[in-house]
Amino acid sequence: MTNSANLEIRDVKIVTATGTSPVIDCALKTFIGNIKIVDGKIVSISGERSASKDVFEGAGMLAIPGFVDPHTHIPFVGDRVKEFLMRSNGAKYAEILKAGGGIYSTVDSVRKSSVDDLVMSGLKHVKWFLKSGVTAIECKSGYGLDFENEIKQLEAIKLISENTPQKIVPTFLGAHAIPSMGEKAYIDELKRMLDFVKEKNLAQFVDIFCDEGAFSVEGASEYVNYARSKGFKVRVHADELSSNGFAGIASDLGAVSVDHLAMCSKAEIESMAQNKTVAVLLPLTSFYLKNAFAPARMMLNEGVPIALGSDFNPGSNTFYSPFLNIHLAVNYLGMTPAEAFIAHTLNAAYVIGLGQECGTIEVGKRADIVIIDVPDINYIPYMPTNELVKAVFVNGVEVFENRDNFSWQN
């Protein structure tokens, strides 16, 4: 493995979207040639080889932009395997909660953990993503649900970010669930946390879960307005379990993205299209929970850009593969391979504020590049395994290599 941020990735078939903003059409660019990298940035893409001494021989393999995961619940500790078994035996969420499962069991584990515990667990998880070709990830708080433990999670995210090659983007999700003090009192508490997060610059994004059993539309709207007035960028969890109109409201209130959207209505989709809000779809969670999939085709037809995320968390989805995610997007959401590919690269990068830096292979962008051993991107949904990843470059440095032959062709 080469260890330099100055190198040439030679003889690859580059497949990428272009630009810095989310796109709806599926125009991908393909170019066979060499990528020259200086100080971690792409400086040229050319048919000519340069005199570079450090070389990665691509041998005709595909070079794609590193995948971006705009929605995970890292960091957390512990598992919820009992809950998984209860659900697979037909238990409803209310029964699971009664038996001590659900989000509050993770909240309990996180409250009992130190920052170090969270960092260790988080670093392990982001490494799994790295080996799957994910070079930028969003991480959220949301399992503390009080001042001390929410801030503890954000501090853990900062340390994870300093100890992994990947770009990590933190989101404050103190509004993940309502603790026993009730919604009104907790929103006041959340505003106090937001002021602190702002002062210490622990996150630029704020998220809230507005759905059945979580925050009300009124409470969530008040909170989103407050967060916006403080200069935060807003993301929301909406329309996962029921349709309450909040996806449309949040997009009118200036949310960058609305996430989940399995139960989304046409009126909400129209608001999102009007406001250019990105729909972050999480088909791995729908699949894991045997729930409905989001109406992706309707969104695309109405002009809503789509990003794909994993929603990786211990309760409702433990899959983290962008390959499997793209498979589901193609097979269950009706997206084309190109649409799903763009949704997991450029559009996802834009959602977490990285559209200028990564998400495409273009001169001037960071060299976050993944080499996969397939003839074209249709093979990503066709054979959705992380084993296709042969090498991962972050900031031009090769951080993972897999020499096993997993090619379909030979």
Q: How far is the CB of 70 from Zn ion (least distance, A)?
A: 11
Minimum CB distance to Zn ion smaller for 69 or for 398:
69
Q: How far is the CB of 76 from Zn ion (least distance, A)?
A: 11
Query: Could you say which DSSP state residue 303 is in?
Result: T
Q: How far is the CB of 234 from Zn ion (least distance, A)?
A: 14
- 195-224 residues near Zn ion, rule: CB under 5 A: none
Query: Could you say which DSSP state residue 388 is in?
Result: G
Minimum CB distance to Zn ion smaller for 101 or for 309:
309
Closest CA to 76 of 312, 256, 254: 312
Q: Which residues contact 147 (CB under 8 A, 6 or more apart)?
A: 189, 192, 193, 196
Residue 202 one-letter amino acid? L
Q: Given the rule CB under 5 A, which of 20-28, 160-168, 195-203, 306-314 is the region that contacts Zn ion?
A: 306-314
Minimum CB distance to Zn ion smaller for 8 or for 311:
311
What kind and span of H or E run contains 33?
strand 29-38
Query: For the chain, give me the number of helices (H) and strands (E)?
Result: 15, 16
Task: Pick left, alpha or beta for residue 207 (phi over 0 → left; psi -120 to 50 → alpha; otherwise beta).
Answer: beta
Residue 138 touching Zn ion (CB under 5 A): no
What kind and span of H or E run contains 271?
helix 266-275
Each residue 257-296 as x (binds Zn ion by CB under 5 A) or -, in order, gives: ----------------------------------------
Residue 240 touching Zn ion (CB under 5 A): no
Q: How far is the CB of 173 from Zn ion (least distance, A)?
A: 8
Whether the CB-CB separation of 136 and 68 falls below 8 Å is answered with: yes
Q: How far is the CB of 46 from Zn ion (least distance, A)?
A: 41
Closest CA to 228 of 209, 210, 204: 204
Q: How far is the CB of 246 from Zn ion (least distance, A)?
A: 15
Residue 311 touching Zn ion (CB under 5 A): yes
Minimum CB distance to Zn ion smaller for 42 or for 284:
284
Q: Name the site residues for Zn ion (rule: CB under 5 A).
A: 311
